[in-house]
Chains A and B, each alone.
Chain A
Amino acid sequence: MHSSITNVRLAGLAVSTGSQTRDFIADGLALGLDRVMLERTAQTIGLRERKVAAPGITALDLCEDATRRLLDAAGLDASSIDAVIFVTQTPDHSQPNNASLLHGRLGLATGAAAFDLSLGCSGWVYGLQQAALLCAHGGAARVLLCAGDTLSRLTHPKDRSADPLFGDAGSAALIERTGHAAAWHFELGADGAGANAIIVPQGGARMPHDCKPLTEIPDLDGNVRHAANLAMQGGEVFNFSLRQAPPAVAAVMRHAHYTVEATEGLVLHQANRFVITTVGRKCGFPAEKTPSDVVEHYGNQSSASIPCALIHAFTEPLSSRALKLVLCGYGVGWSWGAVAAEFGPLVVAPIQPYPHSR
């Protein structure tokens, strides 16, 4: 689905990460794995460190911290926010939604709308499109887009195909209505036939937590997980990414009349370096325009990975001028979203762990 939305701007970005550092090699050695194999995997996939949330800290807490730091940096009051969208697959509760909880924590006006989007790695682009629509056509002048997850809580520590990949983070972005801005061009899509390739089977209404005891089951490679753990078919997800991301990127670039040469960056969902470099090459972009090192510092941050990559790779230029960028996220649900747009100048709050160190 294509959409072009005019007269909106990205006004600010912030990301708060988990405060605990996990080291890929050290974690593997603690499980009794071979150091040479671990180092080889680290080199191939691009895994080093990741930041995970401290006990008791949720995506809501991380996004609240990012929002407060962003509002401070921008000199804005929370009362100026007309709507809050919260993208997450790890909400505090099945009810109420995270957006309403954040609405209450920030003391937003009762006229401000609040709703969640249940999406993962494609979610920031989906949320950006919804926020832009609210500003362009929905009566909002300023929308808060929060996106984040604590996926490290969903993986089994003995599942080496998933557990080493994920970090925890929460992002905040401000999207505003403006009278003079070039169109943002979006391409959103989904292939529900592949929805089970990334799944947490137990814990929803179909298979409630109390329906059966959790039994740990090893797979063919010796990875262990139970039904409430995140299970991912890596090969299928990789093929899906290669199949869907490049056409989505090509479509938004065609609508925006962007060339690779004129585009200053292709910011892909930071799954792992292996996937990013392959998808980037398939999109026709040189490696220097495709940031891929975020994941080695923070892990795969689900819907917070694109804003984190924007801050990590483009803070200086984004703070001072407009950049032609193409963003693309892809993942759970088998869903994808791409956008080609000019972003900046905007307020950027630095990436910080939460709780803050004293």
Chain B
Amino acid sequence: MTSAEKLQALQADVDVFVGATEHTSLASLPHWGSLAVLLVILHCETQHGLVVTGPQVRGCTTVGDLLKLLP
């Protein structure tokens, strides 16, 4: 999957990313918070079979950092 495809899939599951780019800061997203972190964890598990932890997601600064967690 390309980064663009990964972002598109993420946006389909977690609507806080709608309109975001790889360079968007997570902190700048209006609805970034504990629920969004949960939804990202769910997306990783259901779409990629990948277990990521809350601290891993929290450790990301930009949307691009999040996409790097994905295979």
Contact = CB atoms under 8 A, between A and B. Distances in A.
B38 A235 contact: yes
Interface string B12-36: 0001000000000000000101110
Contact of A220 (B15, B39, B58): B58
Q: What range describes how many residues of A lie at the interface?
A: 20 to 34
Contacts of A274: 38, 42
B51 interface: yes
A40 B39 CA distance: 12
B38 A242 contact: no
B57 interface: yes
Interface in A142-190: 160-161
A37 B39 CA distance: 14
Interface in B32-51: 33-35, 37-39, 41-42, 45-46, 51
A268 to B, nearest CB: 16
Interface class of chain B by DSSP? helix
A44 B35 contact: yes
A80 interface: no
Contacts of A235: 34, 37-38, 41, 53-54, 57
Nearest to A161: B34
B69 to A, nearest CB: 13
Interface string A218-241: 001111000000000111101100
A41 interface: yes
Interface residues of B, number: 17
B53 A236 contact: yes
A234 B41 CA distance: 10
A236 B53 CA distance: 6
A45 interface: yes
B61 to A, nearest CB: 13
Contacts of B53: 235-236, 239
A212 B31 CA distance: 35
A40 B14 CA distance: 11
A209 interface: no
Interface string B53-69: 11001100000000000
A37 B54 contact: no
A44 B13 CA distance: 11
B51 to A, nearest CB: 6
Interface in A34-65: 37, 40-41, 44-45
A278 B35 contact: no
Given A233-B54, A278-B46, A238 B38 contact: yes
Given A40-B31, A223-B34, A235-B37, 8 more contacts: A40-B15, A44-B39, A234-B34, A234-B37, A235-B34, A236-B54, A242-B51, A274-B38
14 contacts: A40-B15, A40-B31, A44-B35, A160-B34, A161-B34, A221-B33, A221-B34, A233-B54, A235-B34, A235-B37, A235-B53, A235-B57, A239-B53, A278-B46
Interface of B: 15, 31, 33-35, 37-39, 41-42, 45-46, 51, 53-54, 57-58
The 4 closest A-B pairs by CB, nearest first: A235-B54, A221-B33, A161-B34, A221-B34
